[in-house]
């Protein structure tokens, strides 16, 4: 989010200094404002996560954790058998 705002601020300074055209200013500002809105919408979606989504995420992390331990145990067993 901050990166988008910094780009808008920088391009404004470039416009004020006459380094870029009005057309370029309008086009880029519109693009970055749209990008900023998309980021805000995505952030709101994360804030409104349902309990089911959180439970699914928790279970996924638990399974990943178990998979790591199983893999490490298998590696140790393979080394012991060599």
For residue 60, the model assigns a pLDDT of 92
| Distance from C-alpha of 7 to C-alpha of 78, rounded to nearest angstrom | 53
User: What are the tens digits of pLDDT across the range 23-63?
Assistant: 988 898 888 889 889 988 888 877 777 788 878 888 999 99
Please provide the average confidence, as pLDDT, over all residues in the chain: 85
Which residue has better confidence, 69 or 4? 69
Q: What's the alpha-carbon Rg for the chain, to the nearest Å?
A: 24
The C-alpha atoms of residue 17 and residue 60 are separated, in whole angstroms, by 52
The C-alpha atoms of residue 57 and residue 45 are separated, in whole angstroms, by 15
């Amino acid at each position: 989010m901050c990166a988008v705002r910094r780009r808008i601020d920088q391009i404004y300074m470039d416009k004020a200094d006459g380094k870029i055209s009005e057309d370029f200013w309008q086009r880029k500002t519109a693009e970055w404002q749209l990008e900023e809105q998309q980021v805000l919408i995505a952030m709101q979606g994360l804030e409104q996560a349902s309990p089911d989504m959180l439970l699914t995420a928790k279970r996924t992390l638990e399974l990943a954790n178990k998979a790591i331990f199983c893999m490490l145990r298998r590696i140790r067993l393979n080394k012991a058998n060599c």
